[in-house]
């Protein structure tokens, strides 16, 4: 059990809460209880105490001073990572909540590259390996597909679930292609339309759906049961077909089409639940991937 901090910018409060290790691909050391972590509610982003990371990687007797000097050097080099660090309130050694420089995973990985330490070297090697793999995948996209399947298998997903998930990726791509054709191109708009679609078929926003499953930054689809995946696919297929038939232009018109497409799957969900006598919107998540096949 690890103590995670949850920050709410509306009230400017940070509350420590014990939680299970998150299902994430982050580097191993960030799960260490020596590194304080903050889940930023509004940004849906994990932030890490930079001073704590410096302490773990350098064994400095004064990690605060080490970070102060490193920050000065990075600022002199024009490094924007330092400028973008958040000051969030965390529980200090004296028992008081004090503002601490915190960084996202991306920012943290950049900072690690600037830390001359034997303990930091494995992370630098890992970053080089990942960079090399991504360049190879740009040259041969099939490698990315193979890596994705391999990752799902390593996590313990069943072959049937993986098959369904991969099919859903193609369906999703068809929908986003249709949004592009309709003049919707911004990622923020894609997220808004996805939220409308999810609400229409499941009765829950993406945020509340994630809360039900105990998720944070993880993919909602990667934590769906087979039934949930199938209903989501029906919603996306319906939205794509309706969009092609109605030819919406821009976000507002696409939003109405998405609602209609989602309602098709929503009606199917309601009918199935009536016959089953229970909800198919499940709190199950990928902490136990095999359970996602049971559709409990």
Question: What is the average pLDDT across 6-12?
Answer: 61
Q: List phi, psi (to 5°) of 220.
A: -65, -45
Q: How far is CA 171 from CA 56, 254, 282, 285, in A?
A: 44, 17, 22, 22
Average pLDDT, the chain: 85
Q: What is the pLDDT of residue 95?
A: 79
pLDDT per position as a tens digit, 55-69:
888 888 999 999 999
Res 17 pLDDT > 80: no
pLDDT per position as a tens digit, 176-233:
999 999 999 888 899 999 999 999 999 999 999 999 998 887 889 999 999 999 999 9
Res 121 pLDDT > 50: yes
Distance between CA atoms of residues 30 and 123, nearest Å: 12
Q: What is the pLDDT of residue 222?
A: 93
Comparing 198 with 99, which gets the higher pLDDT? 198
Residue with tokens 């945020």: 207
Comparing 152 with 44, which gets the higher pLDDT? 152
DSSP assignment letter at 21: P
Q: Name the token pair of 132.
A: 């090399």
Partnered with residue 15 across adjacent β-strands are 6
DSSP assignment letter at 204: S
Q: What is the pLDDT of residue 9?
A: 60
Res 16 pLDDT > 80: no
| Range with lowest mean pLDDT among 107-116, 179-188, 245-254 | 107-116
């Amino acid at each position: 059990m690890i103590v995670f901090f949850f920050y709410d910018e509306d009230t400017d409060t940070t509350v420590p809460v014990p939680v299970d290790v998150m299902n994430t691909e982050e580097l191993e050391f960030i799960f260490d209880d020596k590194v304080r972590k903050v889940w930023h509610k509004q940004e849906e982003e994990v932030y890490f105490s930079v001073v704590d990371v410096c302490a773990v990687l350098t064994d400095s007797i004064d990690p605060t001073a080490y970070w102060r000097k490193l920050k000065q050097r990075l600022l002199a080099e024009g490094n924007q990572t330092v400028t973008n660090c958040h000051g969030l309130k965390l529980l200090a050694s004296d028992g008081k909540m004090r503002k601490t420089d915190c960084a996202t995973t991306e920012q943290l990985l950049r900072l690690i590259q600037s830390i001359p330490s034997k303990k930091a070297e494995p992370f630098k090697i890992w970053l080089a390996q990942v960079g090399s793999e991504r360049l190879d995948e740009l040259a041969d996209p099939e490698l990315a597909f193979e890596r994705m399947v391999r990752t799902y298998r390593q996590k313990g997903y069943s072959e049937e679930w993986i098959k369904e998930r991969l099919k859903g990726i193609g369906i999703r791509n068809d929908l986003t292609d249709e949004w592009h054709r309709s003049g919707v191109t911004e990622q923020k708009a894609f997220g808004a339309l996805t939220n409308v679609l999810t609400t229409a078929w499941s009765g829950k926003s993406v945020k509340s759906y994630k809360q039900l499953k105990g998720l944070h930054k993880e993919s909602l689809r990667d934590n769906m049961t087979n039934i949930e995946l199938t209903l989501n696919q029906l919603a996306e297929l319906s939205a794509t077909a309706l969009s092609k038939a109605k030819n919406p232009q821009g976000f507002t018109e696409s939003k109405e089409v998405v609602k209609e497409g989602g309602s098709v799957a929503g009606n199917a969900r309601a009918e199935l639940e009536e016959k089953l006598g229970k909800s198919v919107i499940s709190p199950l998540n990928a902490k136990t991937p095999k359970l996602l096949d049971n559709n409990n």
